[in-house]
Amino acid sequence: MTRLVPGFLWGAATAPHQVEGNNLNSDWWQRELHTPGMERSGDAVDSYHRYAEDMRLLADAGLTSYRFGIEWARIEPIPGQISRAALAHYSRMIDTAFQLGLTPVVTLHHFTSPRWFAEDGGWLGPKAIERFQAYVKTAAAILGDVEWVCTMNEPNMLAIMVWMSDPERSAAVRKQMLTPTVADDRFPILPDPEPEVGLRLAEAHHAAAEILRRETDAKVGWTVANQAFTATVGNEDKLREVRYIKEDLYLEAARGDDFIGVQSYSSQAVDGNGVVPHPPAPDNTLTGAAYRPDALGIALRHAWEATGGVPILVTENGIATADDTRRIAYTSEALGHLFKAVDDGIDVRGYLHWSALDNFEWGHWKPTFGLIAVDRETFERKPKPSLAWLGAVARRGRL
């Protein structure tokens, strides 16, 4: 039997903008208002007010951890002006998690920034690092007992969002591509994240990590979209080239961190021309990705190698499907690959499923990833069988 580390985290994840609702001061709220064809987050699933109920459902099912985020746009709605009430809100969330026996894993930036930050040049603006540092320092004040902090979520996807919001490109691109997380027939391959943006985000991450190490006892890392790329015959060099730009730059920046957050959903081949689009298949998921539960094993092995052996927390893994039996089948197989990786000596500290709740998938409501369904009119939570199933796996510590 696979020996998991004592205290292995079994949990589920969300991000503030996707579940809280009315994130009015964020850049994404503006994007939703001004992008034709994009669905809006609106009230989302009102987790801003119902977080205690959400956490209780996870804890009652048997899970031991909850990954959620702190929203910069709420904490600092105007440059330099801190909302004490917002800070107190997130502090209560952290306390609630502990009271319910859930280890909080806190993300400080999950794709969204304050509107003012984006309008003033965003991540490429001259004051970007300084501003992020000031926010992280403010947030650190409530992170006293938190053991796991992710500075930034999927900088390799965030870099594509930065590219999409470049006014030089926006008119053409916005029409074609709503979000990098959902495959689009008109845009079958994601653009490359620009290394200039990636390096800036790495600088921000390192600056944030330094503050967190000074001001908290937390383990600090960032999370990367692990795309489990594989080479078609004879294309190993091309694989390395593509993977560096899309992923390894970000994994290598995690060397020296306390952990790396691995986020895995599917796998894609690389041929002589680059990434091969997901082949159309009846079992593709609701985001258009291939059904590849084996991706997690590939992702864990690659992240371990590319970071030079940084301990891993699976901060996201899941499937967009309306069929919950499919979610259980996918997750069961993915966990089998996780256990094999642990058997092979890879240091995995936990598994956090994406997502706790069906939520706002960046411009789309249709792709449902949740262990819990939500009625978007009444906000009633309806746990799916997959929640009880994952809770039982967590209690046993095996499949």
Decide: is 153 part of the binding site for ligand BGC (CB under 6 A): yes
Residue among 228, 253, 255, 229 at smallest CA distance from 309: 255
The C-alpha atoms of residue 272 and residue 235 are separated, in whole angstroms, by 6
Choice from 157, 159, 342, 390 touching ligand BGC (CB under 6 A): 157
Choice from 4, 15, 251, 270 touching ligand BGC (CB under 6 A): 15
Decide: is 354 part of the binding site for ligand BGC (CB under 6 A): yes
The C-alpha atoms of residue 122 and residue 73 are separated, in whole angstroms, by 13
- By CB under 6 A, what part of segment 269-288 binds ligand BGC? 287
The C-alpha atoms of residue 345 and residue 257 are separated, in whole angstroms, by 19
Least distance in Å: CB of 3 to ligand BGC? 29
Decide: is 361 part of the binding site for ligand BGC (CB under 6 A): yes
Choice from 96, 113, 151, 181 touching ligand BGC (CB under 6 A): 181
The answer to whether the beta carbons of residues 253 and 290 sit under 8 Å apart is no
The C-alpha atoms of residue 155 and residue 103 are separated, in whole angstroms, by 24
Q: Which is nearer to ligand BGC, 222 or 354 (CB)?
A: 354
Decide: is 225 part of the binding site for ligand BGC (CB under 6 A): yes
Q: Which tokens go with 162?
A: 């930065």
Could you give the 3-state DSSP secondary structure of residue 357?
strand
Decide: is 65 part of the binding site for ligand BGC (CB under 6 A): no
Rg of the chain over Cα atoms, rounded to whole angstroms, equals 19
State CA 183 to chain mean position distance: 17
The C-alpha atoms of residue 153 and residue 261 are separated, in whole angstroms, by 9
Least distance in Å: CB of 183 to ligand BGC? 10
- By CB under 6 A, what part of segment 300-329 binds ligand BGC? 316
Which single residue brings its beta carbon nearest to ligand BGC?
Answer: 181
Decide: is 161 part of the binding site for ligand BGC (CB under 6 A): no
The residue range among 43-51, 151-159, 240-248, 330-338 that interacts with ligand BGC, by the rule CB under 6 A, is 151-159
The answer to whether the beta carbons of residues 370 and 384 sit under 8 Å apart is yes
The residue range among 123-131, 149-157, 273-281, 300-308 that interacts with ligand BGC, by the rule CB under 6 A, is 149-157
Decide: is 47 part of the binding site for ligand BGC (CB under 6 A): no
State CA 232 to chain mean position distance: 28
Residue located via tokens 């985290």: 9
Q: Which is nearer to ligand BGC, 152 or 211 (CB)?
A: 152
Site residues for ligand BGC per CB under 6 A: 15, 18, 153-154, 157, 181, 225, 263, 287, 316, 354, 361, 369
